[in-house]
Structure 1
Amino acid sequence: MRVSSILTGLSCAAVTILPCAALTVDLSSEESIKTAASTVAHGMMRYYNGNQTGGIPGLLPGPYYWWEAGAMFGSLIDYWYYTGDTSYNAVTTEAMLFQVGDKNNYMPSNQSKSLGNDDQAFWGMAAMSAAELKFPNPPADKPQWLALAQAVFNSQALRWDDSTCGGGLRWQIFTFNNGYDYKNTISNGAFFNIAARLAAYTGNQTYVEWAEKSFQWTHDIGLMSDDYYFYDGSDDKINCTQLNHIQWSYNAGVHLLGAATMWNVTQDDIWRERTLGIWNATHVFFTDQGNTGAGGQVMFEVACEPNNNCNIDQLSFKAYLSRWMAASTKVAPWLYDEIKPYLMASAAAAALSCSGGDDGTTCGTKWWNNGVWDGAYGVGQQMSALEVIQSNLIDRVSGPVSNSTGGTSQGNPNAGTGGDSSPIATPDPIHTSDRAGAGIITALILVALVGGAWWMIA
C-alpha cells in the first residue's frame, strides 16, 4: 500500500507546534524513543500485506525486491530487542520461516531469477540477529535461527570462487542472471559479517579462518583501500583489474560490525586497528548539514541523495549502517563514545524528516534537509528512520549472546549443504585466553560507473 503524499512541500517539524501530526522524540528518554520507534515501525508495516488474505508471507509488493523484505524483518527483530514490544513477533517469525526454501538456506526457488549472494545473506543476517538477541525460537519442528544462519554461510562458502580475481563471491548465484560476472563488496562483506558472528556464537575456529580469508581478499583485490574505504565491486571478466569506486554506506557498516566482532573473538590488536579504521572512514557518509545540535553529524547516502538519484534499494542503506554501528558498540565497547553522538544527531534529524504523508509522520529520505520533509516515502525511508532512532537505546539493552553465554538457538554445522561436504571443520572452541539483492547495481549502471565517480575517495 502506498502512502499518500498530500503534504508534499509542507513540514510538521518535530521541534515546533503545528496543526498537524509530526514525529517527536526526546533522545534522553527511553520511553520517548520507544514511542517514536513504534510510530515509525507502524508506518513501515503499512507497506506489508504478506499477513493478509491472499498475501505471501515474507514478500513486499513491487517495486521492492525479496532481499529488502529480509532486511525489514531484521529491523523488526531489532525493534523487539530495543523496545520489548512483541506486536510484530508473530508476523516476523511467519515470514522468516516461510522464505527458507527447500534446503532451509534462504534460497526459495521462486526467487532464482534474481537471487544474489547478498540477497540470501540479508535473510541470513536477520536469522543471525534472531539467534544472538534471543528472539523467540521457532517451533521445534521448524528450522532454527542459528541453523538458518549456518545454512546461508555453508552454501556461500561452497561458492567461494578461486577461478577469477583470486577468490571471492560473485554477486549473482546463477549463471543465467545479469551480474554473475560481478564480484561485489556487499556479497563478500555480508559473508564476512556472518562468519565473524558465527565464530562469536559457536566458538568454531573455522568461522574465524573464513572471516579472515574474506576480509583479506576484499583488501587484496582493492575493494577495501588501505585507509578502509569500501568500493562497490569489480568485473571478473577482466580479473577484477578495474574497480567501480562508488561508495555505499552499508558496505562500511557490514564490515564495521564484522571487524568489531572479530576483535571481540580474537582480542587481536590488528582487529582493533581495522575496526577503528573502518569507523573513521565512515566520515564520508556524514554531514554537518541538518545537525540539530545533538553532537556528531547527520548520516546521508553520499552517492545518490544529493542528486536525488537513489534507487529503491539504496533508499534503505542508512538502516544498515545505523544497525551495525550500534551493534558494534556491544562487541567493541570502546567504540561507544565515538559512535553514540552520530546516532543521536542522525536520529534527531531523521525524526524531523518524519512529518509528511497522510499520517503526518511519514519519514523522508534527506535527514539533512533542515527539518523539512522532502516528499519521499517508502519502506526504505521508514526502515532507515526506525533503525537509527531505536539504535539510541543500545546502552539500555544487553549484548549478543553465544552458546556459552545463554544462547538457546539450536545450530547445525552441516545445514544448507544439500548433501555436499561441509565447509566447517570439527569445532575447535576458542578458549578464554583467545577471546575478549541487495543487488544495487544493474549491468547498465556497472558499465557507466566502472572507473569511479565524483564521490570516490582515491
Structure 2
Amino acid sequence: MRPSSILSGLSCAAFAILPCAAITVDLTSEDSIKSAASTIANGMMKFYSGNVTGGIPGLLPGPYYWWEAGAMFGSLIDYWYYTGDTSYNDVTTQALLFQVGDKDNYMPSNQSKSLGNDDQAFWGMAAMSAAELKFPNPPSDQPQWLALAQAVFNSQALRWDPSTCGGGLRWQIFTFNNGYDYKNTISNGAFFNIAARLAAYTGNQTYAEWAEKTFEWTRAVGLMSDDYYFYDGSDDTINCTELNHIQWSYNAGVFLLGAATMWNVTQSDLWRERTLGIWNATHVFFTSQGGQAAGQIMFEVACEPNNNCNVDQLSFKAYLSRWMAASTKVAPWLYDDIKPYLAASAQAAALSCSGGDDGTTCGTRWWNNGVWDGATGVGQQMSALEVIQSNLIDRVQGPVSNSTGGTSQGNPNAGSGGDSNPIAMPAAIETSDRAGAGIVTALILVALVGGAWWMIA
C-alpha cells in the first residue's frame, strides 16, 4: 500500500441540492440487508472500468493501487456468498484470472514498481476466499482458486528472511523499491492468514507450522504486544530494534481470522486465548461518538478523527469487518461478542450512505451522526458493503475444506519457481532474535498526512 492524500468535502446537509436520504437497513430482515448491499455494491462498481472496451481487467483507475482492486474483488466474492446475487461473478472471475502474472502467483510484471508482499497477498486472500466459499471454479484450462492461493504462499515462503530481525517478510519484494528495508505487520499478517487457512483447507500440517512460526515471530520482534495490539512495522537496517507504533484496523483483523482459524485447526486452549486476546484488543477501533451504540461503531483511529486518511486507509474497515465476521464461522464462540459490533457499525455505515447525486453514496465517518461527510470512493463503498453484508454471517455456511465439500483444485508446488521444497520450515526463532522486542525503549512518533498522531503504548 502507498500513501496518497485525499480531500474530504462538506456534509450533504450543507447543500440543499444534495439528497440526504441514506440507505435504510433492517438488520432483522435478510431481504433488507441484501437490498442495501446491492445498492452499495453497485455504487462501488461505478469506480471500475476494467471490463469495458479499452479497460484492463482487474485494475482500478488512479489514485487506487493494484492491491485495492484485489481487495475489492474479494468483497464481491463475499457479496455473492452472502446474497446469492451472481451479478458480479463474471467480472470478478475475469479480474482474478487476468492479474495472476506469468507464474500464476499474482506477481504481474507490470506491477513490479510497487509490488509488496502485502499487495500480492490481498489477491491471494481473495483466491483463498473463492476456494473456501465455493465461488464458481474457473474453466479447467485456467489456474484454480486453491492453486493460486498456494502459489502466493509458496512464493512468499521462499522470501522469508532470517538475515535481519530473526525472520519475517519484508514489505517490498524487489530491492529497488522504497520500503524494501521495512518489515511490516500486514505483510506478515497476511502470510499468517493464508497459511492458517491453507492448513484448514488442505489438512497439510506444514502450513500450520508456518502459521505458528509467523505468529511467534511477530510477537518476538514486538510487532504484536503482550496485550495483542499490532503495530505497523520496523526498519530492518536497525534489526527491528525500534517500532512504528501506529495501529491500523486491518492488522488486527488479518491476525484475528488467522488465529481463529488456527484454533479451529488445533482446538487448543492456546489459540483460543490468542484469538480472544486479539479480539479484545480490536476495541481500540470502535467508538461511541455520534450518540450511537456505546463503543461499537468502527472507525480508523489513526486517521479518521483528524480527517486525514489516505486512499489506502479509507478501505481498512472493510477488512476488519470481513475478518471479524469470518472469524465467527471458524470460532463460533466469538459470535455473541462480535455480532453487536457488526450490527452497530452496519447501522451507522448505512446512515452515512446518504451522499452523492443518488443519495446513497457512502462516506467515511460512520460516527458522524448519520450525516454524509462528503467523502466518496472505493474504500468508503467497500467498507460499508462488508460491514452491512457481514450481518448475514449467521445465515450462511462456514468455509469448506478438501474433506467437507471443497471442490477447488490445488497445486502444492504452485508459484515456487521449481523449488523442490517450497514450504520448508524456517529456522527456529532463537533467544537472541527476541532481543528486538525486549530492548525497545522509545516509541517512534509517526506523522500522518495533515499532522495526525496516534500511538498505543
TM over 0.5: yes
Contact 2:264 2:331 in 1 (8 A): yes
Alignment-derived partner of residue 69 in structure 1: 69
Residue from 1, 9, 12 that aligns with 1:10: 12
Amino acid of the structure 1 residue aligned with 2:212: E
Aligned to 1:26: 26
Kept after mapping to 1: 8 A contact 2:127/2:149: yes
Aligned to 2:4: none
Name the amino acid aligned to 1:10. Answer: C
Residue 40, structure 1, aligned to residue 43, structure 2: no
Q: Which moved more, 1:227-236 or 1:284-293?
A: 284-293
| SS in structure 2 of the partner of residue 154 of structure 1 | helix
The aligned counterpart of 1:420 is 419
1:198 maps to what in 2? 198
The alpha-carbon deviation at position 455 of structure 1 amounts to 2.9
Give the aligned length. Answer: 427
**SS of residue matched to 2:79:** helix
2:438 corresponds to: none
Query: Residue 336 of structure 1: CA displacement?
Result: 0.1
Measure, in 2, the Cα distance between the counterparts of 1:316 and 1:361: 18
Contact 1:197–1:261 (Cα < 8 Å) also in 2: yes
**For the residues of structure 2 that align with 1:291 and 1:256, how far apart are their CA atoms?**
28
Per-residue CA deviations over 1:35-70 (Å, capped at 9, x if unaligned) read 000000000000000000000000000000000000
Matching residue's letter, 1:353: S
1:234 match: secondary structure = strand
Is residue 324 of structure 1 aligned with residue 327 of structure 2?
Answer: no
Residue range with higher mean Cα deviation, 302-311 or 416-425:
416-425
The 5 Å alignment of 1:44-443 reads 44-293=44-293, 297-424=296-423
Contact preservation (8 Å) 1:117, 1:170: yes
Deviation at 1:421, TM superposition (A): 2.7
Q: Distance in 2 between matches of 1:177 and 1:142?
A: 31
Between the aligned residues of both structures, percent identity stands at: 87
CA distance in 2, matches of 1:449, 1:310: 12
Q: Which amino acid aligns with 1:301?
A: E
- Residue 183 of structure 1 contacts residue 233 of structure 1 at CA under 8 Å; is this kept in 2? yes
TM-aligned CA deviation for residue 424 of structure 1 = 3.0
Displacement of 1:454 after TM fit?
4.8
Shift of 1:419: 1.4
Q: Which amino acid aligns with 1:395?
A: D
**Displacement of 1:456:** 1.7
- Structure 2 gaps of 5+ residues are 1-6, 426-443
1:422, distance to aligned residue in structure 2 (A): 3.0
Judging changes above 3 Å, is the alpha-carbon distance between structure 1 residues 41 and 201 closer, same or farther for their aligned structure 2 residues? same
CA root-mean-square deviation? 1.9
Measured in 2, the distance between the counterparts of 1:292 and 1:73 equals 31
Structure 2 CA distance for partners of 1:64 and 1:341, relative to 1, 3 Å: same
Query: Does structure 1 retain, via aligned residues, the 8 Å contact 2:319–2:383?
Result: yes
Contact 2:339 2:391 in 1 (8 A): yes
Residue 369 of structure 1 and its aligned partner are, at CA, apart by 0.3
- Counterpart-to-counterpart distance in 2, 1:91 and 1:21: 30
CA contact (8 A) 1:364 1:373 kept: yes
Structure-1-length-normalised TM-score: 0.90
How far apart in 2 are the matches of 1:296 and 1:396?
26
Residues 292 and 348, structure 1, Cα contact 8 Å, conserved in 2: no
Deviations 1:194-223 (A, max 9, x none): 000000000000000000000000000000
Residue aligned with 2:234, SS: strand
Deviation track 1:390-438 (CA, whole Å, cap 9, x = no partner) reads 0000000000000000000000000001112332369xxxxxxxxxxxx
2:416 maps to a residue whose letter is T
- Are the counterparts in 2 of residues 121 and 152 from structure 1 also a CA contact under 8 Å? yes
Residues of 2 paired with 1:54 and 1:84: CA distance? Answer: 30
Shift of 1:289: 1.3
Measure how far apart 1:375 and its partner are.
0.3
Q: State the partner residue of 1:432.
A: none
> Following the alignment from structure 2 to structure 1, what is the Cα–Cα distance between the partners of residues 269 and 119?
32
Deviation of 1:457 after TM superposition, in Å, equals 1.7
Aligned counterparts of 2:19 and 2:415: Cα–Cα separation in 1: 54
| Partner Cα distance (2:397, 2:63) in 1 | 36
